[in-house]
């Protein structure tokens, strides 16, 4: 009986303690475990380093303009230049270069056999494909871009550009 009297207060203290905190116990492997974190300092999320679409289009237009002025096609019998971009972007560039020789044609007019020279479907003759790849913002506020030309394995290459934004307009800062 003496033992029961000693255990009774301990039992009452234990039961009382269980009823004072109504917060459910959440184990770390349960789905709601993250919601129990309080007084946690969260690090600021870095700003998106991706270019906005409008900036990306401006950079691409400048690089395509540069590539179209280089005349990679002078030593070949190329009947078309195709741009690897959206139809809207290609149309804007075609309007900027209306009398370009060879003509800038819509990309659906290209036949691209694997590991061979692209072919103009209208003429059946060789064609050239130009493409632009833009990177993310660099720490110094510039953006890297790569302008490529391709007319088969032997006639291909690229320029690497560093682009800078002055106000609302982009410019080529350097080219390699």
Calpha distance 162→142 (Å, rounded): 6
pLDDT value for 114: 84
What does residue 69 show for φ and ψ, rounded to 5 degrees?
Answer: -90, -5
Residue 106: how many other CB atoms lie within 10 Å: 13
pLDDT value for 83: 94
DSSP track, 61-122 = HHHHHHHHTS-TTTTTT---EEEES-HHHHHHHHHHSTT-SSPEE-GGGEE--TTS--EETT
pLDDT value for 121: 95
pLDDT value for 144: 97
**Domain edges within the chain:** 2-36, 53-175
pTM, 2 dp: 0.71
Closest to 73 in 3D by CA, of 99, 102, 44, 41? 102
pLDDT in tens, the chain (176 residues): 566 555 555 555 555 555 555 566 655 555 554 555 555 555 554 566 899 999 999 999 999 999 999 887 777 789 999 999 988 999 999 999 999 989 999 888 999 988 889 999 999 999 999 999 999 999 999 999 999 999 988 888 999 999 999 999 999 999 99
The answer to whether the beta carbons of residues 81 and 104 sit under 8 Å apart is yes
Closest to 76 in 3D by CA, of 132, 108, 113, 119? 119
């Amino acid at each position: 009986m003496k033992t029961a009297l000693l255990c009774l207060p301990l039992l009452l203290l234990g039961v009382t303690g269980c009823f004072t905190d109504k917060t459910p116990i959440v184990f770390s492997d349960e789905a709601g475990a993250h919601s129990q974190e309080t007084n946690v300092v969260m690090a600021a999320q870095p700003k998106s380093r991706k270019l906005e679409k409008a900036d990306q289009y401006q950079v691409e237009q400048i690089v395509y303009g540069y590539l179209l002025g280089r005349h990679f096609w002078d030593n070949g019998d190329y009947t078309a230049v195709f741009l690897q971009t959206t139809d809207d972007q290609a149309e804007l560039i075609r309007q900027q270069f209306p009398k370009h020789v060879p003509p800038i044609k819509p990309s659906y007019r290209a036949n691209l056999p694997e590991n061979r020279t692209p072919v103009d479907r209208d003429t059946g003759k060789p064609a050239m494909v130009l493409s632009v790849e833009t990177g993310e913002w660099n720490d110094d506020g510039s953006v890297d871009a790569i302008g490529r030309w391709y007319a088969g394995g032997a006639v291909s290459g690229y320029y690497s550009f560093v682009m800078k934004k002055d106000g609302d307009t982009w410019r080529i800062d350097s080219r390699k």
